[in-house]
């Protein structure tokens, strides 16, 4: 995709990285970006007025995603990160055809990491119903390696448990094992956390599964892909910059913002409320 002509020629590009999600789960991607790219400014927009996207039609997700991404462009975003697996699965190609900046989704980076680390070629994917139903991870994984076997499972109970803050709960452990035991029995050696909420459960999943299964965190790998993209297109900010984070939501935040802040150690500061036009 072409890059906006507003980028400065020297001294780095101080414009923010635009990041959006259907809600607040994409803050896991923001946290990874802050660790990996501390000199970059980030503008995060969570469409909390219309969350979740998972039950919406593809055309609706595409329309919502274009509206949110357009708002990020009005904030002078130099690139846009689609920090939502549903939007990445259903709307990324639409956005690539209509926006004048580069884009990064969460699915391809996760698939690349999974194919790189699997030892037996048997990869599991967990995600929301919409993401799993789309088949986007299977397509991405098989495109990278036609020999891999993929087993995907929707885990609709995990997001509500995460949003309640039950990250180390016996109830959550039991639900996780209900979802994961058939995949483990099937022989996977790699598990893709195919929802941006799920990295908050990474410690619990690691504890339950041990070292036999390698976890692939879509948030971490998305951040790595963004760093490579900024380098490729000479969009990186100056190393002397302090970076910064602005968080905007389309509706008042709920209790999950506190959960995310505590789990991610992420200072989001004052929340802006934005109206989509």
- Rounded-to-integer distance, Cα 8 and Cα 46, Å: 28
Say whether 222 is catalytic.
no
- CA 41/CA 14 separation, integer angstroms: 7
Give CATH 3.40.50.1860 domain extents, the chain: 17-105+221-273, 108-218
Query: Tokens standing for 148?
Result: 């891999």
pLDDT number for residue 6: 47
Region 17-105+221-273: CATH code: 3.40.50.1860
Nearest-angstrom CA–CA distance, 27 and 246: 11
Q: Which of 195, 230, 245, 247 is catalytic?
A: 195
- The tens-digit pLDDT sequence of the chain (277 residues) is 444 434 444 569 999 999 999 988 899 999 999 999 999 999 999 999 998 888 889 999 999 999 999 999 999 999 999 999 999 999 999 999 999 999 999 999 999 999 999 999 999 999 988 899 999 999 999 999 999 999 999 999 998 899 888 999 999 999 999 999 999 999 999 999 999 999 999 999 999 999 999 999 989 999 999 999 999 999 999 988 789 999 999 998 877 788 888 888 888 888 999 988 6
Is 155 one of the catalytic residues? no
* Other beta carbons within 10 Å of 9: 6
Q: Among 12, 47, 20, which Cα is nearest to 243's?
A: 12
Question: What's the CA gap between 96 and 93, in Å, rounded?
Answer: 5
Q: Are 196 and 218 in contact (CB under 8 A)?
A: yes
Q: How many CA atoms lie within 13 A of 42 on its CB side?
A: 31
pTM of the model: 0.90
10: three-class secondary structure by DSSP: coil
Exposed, middle or buried by CB within 10 Å (0-12, 13-18, 19+), for 24? Answer: buried
CATH architecture of 108-218: 3-Layer(aba) Sandwich (3.40)
The active-site residue out of 19, 30, 84, 132 is: 84
């Amino acid at each position: 995709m072409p890059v906006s002509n507003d980028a400065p020629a020297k001294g780095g590009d101080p414009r923010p990285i635009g990041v959006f999600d259907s809600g607040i789960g994409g803050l896991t991607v923001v946290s990874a970006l802050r660790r990996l790219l501390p000199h970059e400014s980030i503008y995060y927009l969570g469409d909390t007025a219309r969350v979740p996207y998972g039950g919406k039609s593809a055309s609706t997700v595409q329309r919502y995603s274009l509206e949110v991404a357009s708002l990020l462009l009005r904030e002078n975003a130099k690139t846009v990160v689609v920090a939502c697996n549903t939007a990445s699965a259903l709307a990324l190609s639409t956005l690539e055809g209509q926006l004048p900046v580069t884009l990064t989704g969460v699915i391809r980076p996760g698939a690349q990491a999974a194919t790189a680390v699997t030892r037996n070629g048997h990869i599991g994917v967990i995600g929301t119903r919409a993401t799993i139903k789309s088949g986007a991870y299977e397509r991405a994984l098989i495109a990278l390696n036609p020999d891999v076997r993929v087993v995907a499972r929707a885990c609709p109970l995990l997001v509500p448990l995460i949003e309640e803050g039950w990250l180390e709960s016996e109830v959550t452990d039991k639900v996780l094992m209900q979802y994961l035991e058939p995949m483990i029995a099937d022989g996977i050696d790699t598990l893709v956390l195919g929802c941006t909420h799920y990295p908050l459960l990474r410690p619990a999943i690691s504890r339950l599964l041990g070292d036999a299964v390698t976890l692939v965190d879509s948030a971490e790998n998305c951040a790595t892909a963004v760093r490579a993209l900024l380098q490729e297109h000479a969009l990186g900010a100056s190393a002397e910059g302090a970076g910064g984070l602005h968080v905007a939501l389309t509706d008042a935040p709920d209790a999950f913002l506190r959960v995310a802040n505590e789990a991610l150690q992420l200072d989001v500061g004052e929340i802006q409320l934005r109206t989509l036009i």
